[in-house]
Amino acid sequence: MAEVAEGVSPSKAVAVAVSLGLVAHQIFRRYETYNIIVHAALLFGPPTLLTAFTLPSEWSLLYGAFVLFSTYLATLAASIVIYRLSPLHPLARYPGPIGCKISKLYLGAICIPGYQHKYIQALHNRYGDVVRIGPNDLSIRDASRINPLMGASGVPKGPHFIGRMLSATGLPMVAIQDTDVHLRRRKLWQRGMSPSAIKEYEHFIARRARQLLDRMGEQKGEITIGNWFNYFTYDFMSDMAFGGGSELLDAGHDEGNVWALLDDAMFIATFFGHLPWLGVYIGKIPAATGNLSILLNRCVECATARVKKGSEKKDLFHYLNQEDLPNLPPPPMQQLIDDGVLAIIAGADTTSSALTSLVYCLLMHPDVYDKLQAEVDKFYPSGEDAMDTKHHREMPYLNAVINEVLRVYPPVPGGSQRQVPPDGQGVLVGDLYLPPGTIFWCHIYSTHHDPRNFTDPSSFWPERWLIASEDPSLAPSDPAARGLDKTTLVHNETGFLPFSTGPMNCVGKTLAMQEMRMVVCALLQRYKIRARDGWDGGNFESEYRDYFTAPRPEVPVVLETRA
C-alpha cells in the first residue's frame, strides 16, 4: 500500500474526496432508489476506496480515514444543500421556507404534533397557491389545476406510502406508482365496490349499526361517542373485508388496543411518509417501529386467515381474491395482504372521523340539528326501518350536512400525493410547470378553506349546498341563508375533494357515504343527543390533527331515547 500511495499528497487526496462527493450528489440526484445496498455503496464506498488506495504516507490509517470520510460526506451534504437553495434547482421559482427546501426532515418534524394541515394552510396564505414544502415537493391550492393534475390524464401516485408501509415492494393498491399497474389492481376493488357488491354489504352495515345503537343505549350516563364509532367502523370493516374477526362493539372497549395501535401507527407512518428512504431503513430493524409493525402484522394475520377460510359470504375479499371468477387464478398472497391493510386503515379510520365530526357539528349548531332531525323524522318516523336506504336520495339536507362536515373537517386533510415520473416529461398546466420527478399534493384542507372556493369557508353551514343545487326547490328561504343566493354565493365544487378525484380517487367513496347515511338516520331516529354538561366543544378545532388520517378529539355526549 505504501508503494501505491507514494507520491499522493494530502491536498490531492482531499481534492479527490471533494470531487467524488460532487459526483455522488449527481448520482443521488438523477437516480432515485430505495435500495439500502446502493445507498451504502454511494455513501461509504468512495471514501473507503480513497482510504485504501490514496492514503498519503504521512497520515496514519485512522487519521486518513477520518479526514477522507469527513471531506467526502461534508462535500456531498454541502453540495446537496447549496443545489437545493440555488436558482439552478428546477423548483427554485416556487417560494417556501428554507428548512423545507433543504430537507424533508424539516416537514417531518413539523408533522409530529399533528398540525401539518394548519402549517401548510398558513404557508399558502403567506406564499400563494404553489408552495415548496420539500426539496422536490410542492403543495398546490389552486382548484383550477386539480382536474388537469389528477383527472383522467393526471399524474401518477407519489412515494409517501413507501415510507408509511416501511417497504418499497409490498404496497397496497392505493400506493402503486405505475399507473397501468395501479388501474389493473383497482379493477378488483371496483368489482368489490360496485353497486351490486355494496348492496350485498348493506346487511353488514345494518347489523353493526343496530348493535352500535343497542350498545350505546346500554351505557349509563355520558359516553365518548367517537370511541363507539371507532368500534362500529372497525367491526364493520372486519366483517366486510375479512368475513368477521372483530367484536369491539360487544366488548365495549378497545379490546386488544386496536385503535391505540392504529393511532400510534398513523403517527409513526406520517413521519416516515415524508422520508420514504428512512422508512425502508427502519423497516429492516425488528421492532424499531413499534406499533406500526404490530398493526401491519395484525392485518397480515387477518388477511391470511380470511384466504385460508375461504368465502362464506360475498365480502370484499370475495372480489379481491377473485372468488367470483373461479376460472381465474387467485392473486399473489402478498397482494391480498397489502390490500387488506388498506381496507382496515383507510376504511375504518376515515368513516369514524367523519361521523365524530358530524356529531360535533350538530351539537355546536342546534339549528342544523333541528333541521336534520326534522328530515329524518319525515322519512324515518318511529316504526320505519332506518336501515332501509330507499329514502337517502330524497334527503337533501342529510347529504348537505355530510358534505359540509367533509369540507370543514376532511378525514384525510392532506390529500393524495402524486409524482411526475422522473424518467418522463414535465407537466405544464397554465403557468405551472412541474419538472420530471416533482412530488406534489393538491392540499385538501387548504383548498376546502379557500374563500375563492367557498363563501365564509371556515364556517359550518350546510345551506350552502342547497343554495348551490340545481334544484331551486331545495334552496332555503329562511334567515340561515345569510342573504345569499346562487348568484352571490361562492361555491366551487371543483375545490371539494374529500375523496380525491379522477380515476385514482377513493374507491370506497360510495360505501363510506352509505355507512354515514345509515348510521346518522338510525342514530337520530332513536336518540336525542346532547353534549355533556359543562362541555363547550371549543377544543375540537385545536385538537383536530392530521396524521394523513385525522385523529379525533373526544366528544362526550348523553343519549336520551326518543319517545
What DSSP assignment string belongs to 250-292? HHTS-GGGHHHHHHHHHHHHHHHHH-HHHHHHHHTSTTTTTHH
Give the span between the Cα atoms of 23 and 29, in whole angstroms. Answer: 10
Residue 471, pLDDT above cutoff 90: no
Does 369 reside within a domain? Answer: yes
> What pLDDT shows up at residue 266?
80
The CATH number linked to 281 is: 1.10.630.10
Choosing from 33, 59, 85, the residue where a domain stops is 85
Residues 354, 229 share a domain: yes
Q: Is 492 helix (H, G, I), strand (E, B) or coil?
A: coil
> What pLDDT shows up at residue 7?
52
Terminal C-alpha separation, the chain: 94
Please give the DSSP secondary-structure letter assigned to residue 329.
P
Grid coordinates representing 271? Answer: 413521519
Residue 477, pLDDT above cutoff 70: no
> What pLDDT shows up at residue 268?
82
Residues 184, 76 share a domain: no
Q: What number of residues does the chain have?
A: 563
How many domains is the chain built from? 2
Q: Report, as an integer, the average pLDDT of 117-144.
A: 97
Write the CA distances from 120 to 62, 444, 455, 515, 549, integer angstroms: 46, 10, 21, 31, 16
Residues 191, 336 share a domain: yes
Does 504 reside within a domain? Answer: yes
Give the span between the Cα atoms of 237 and 232, in whole angstroms. Answer: 9
> What pLDDT shows up at residue 301?
81
Does 340 reside within a domain? Answer: yes
Confidence of residue 3 (pLDDT cuts 50, 70, 90): very low
Residue 344, pLDDT above cutoff 60: yes
Does 487 reside within a domain? Answer: no
Residues 204, 322 share a domain: yes
What is the rounded average pLDDT for all residues in the chain? 89
Give the span between the Cα atoms of 243 and 248, in whole angstroms. Answer: 15
Residues 508, 369 share a domain: yes
> What pLDDT shows up at residue 1?
40
- Helix (H) or strand (E) holding 427, with range, is strand 427-429
Which domain covers residue 58, as residue numbers? 2-85
pLDDT: which is higher, 68 or 537 = 68
> What pLDDT shows up at residue 282?
86
Give the span between the Cα atoms of 271 and 449, in whole angstroms. Answer: 24
Residues 186, 285 share a domain: yes
> What pLDDT shows up at residue 341?
75
Residue 475, pLDDT above cutoff 70: no
Residues placed in the known binding site for heme: 506
Q: Number of C-alpha atoms within 13 angstroms, CB side, residue 232?
A: 31
pLDDT: which is higher, 52 or 482 = 52
Task: Write the burial class of residue 13 (CB in 10 Å: 0-12 exposed, 13-18 middle, 19+ buried).
Answer: buried
Task: Write the burial class of residue 8 (CB in 10 Å: 0-12 exposed, 13-18 middle, 19+ buried).
Answer: middle
Residues 380, 246 share a domain: yes
- Phi and psi based region of residue 482 (left: phi greater than 0; alpha: psi -120 to 50; beta: remaining): left
Confidence of residue 5 (pLDDT cuts 50, 70, 90): very low
Does 149 reside within a domain? Answer: no
Residues 66, 187 share a domain: no
Residues 215, 74 share a domain: no
Residues 374, 255 share a domain: yes
Residues 227, 80 share a domain: no
Q: Report, as an integer, the average pLDDT of 320-335.
A: 84
Q: Per-residue pLDDT tens for 238-284?
A: 888 888 888 999 999 887 777 777 777 788 888 999 999 988 888 88
Helices (H), 441-504: 444-448, 463-467
Q: Report, as an integer, the average pLDDT of 114-133.
A: 97
CB 304 within 8 A of CB 341: no
Pick from 427, 559, 447: which is nearest to 500 by CA? Answer: 447
- Helix (H) or strand (E) holding 321, with range, is none
Give the span between the Cα atoms of 35 and 43, in whole angstroms. Answer: 12
Q: Report, as an integer, the average pLDDT of 511-519.
A: 95
CB 71 within 8 A of CB 59: no
Sort strands 417-419 and 439-442 into parallel, antiparallel or unpaired. Answer: antiparallel
pLDDT: which is higher, 529 or 285 = 529
CB 532 within 8 A of CB 222: yes
Residue reference for cell 352495515: 205
Q: Per-residue pLDDT tens for 405-442?
A: 999 999 999 999 999 999 889 999 999 999 999 999 99
Q: What percent of the chain has pLDDT over 70?
A: 96
- Helix (H) or strand (E) holding 223, with range, is strand 223-224
- Phi and psi based region of residue 456 (left: phi greater than 0; alpha: psi -120 to 50; beta: remaining): left
Grid coordinates representing 538? Answer: 371549543
Give the span between the Cα atoms of 348 and 266, in whole angstroms. Answer: 13
CB 534 within 8 A of CB 252: no
> What pLDDT shows up at residue 265?
76
Choosing from 85, 100, 117, the residue where a domain stops is 85
> What pLDDT shows up at residue 292?
67
Does 454 reside within a domain? Answer: no
Residues 327, 184 share a domain: yes
Does 100 reside within a domain? Answer: no
Residues placed in the known binding site: 506
Helices (H), 380-429: 396-408
Does 433 reside within a domain? Answer: no
Choosing from 85, 100, 122, the residue where a domain stops is 85
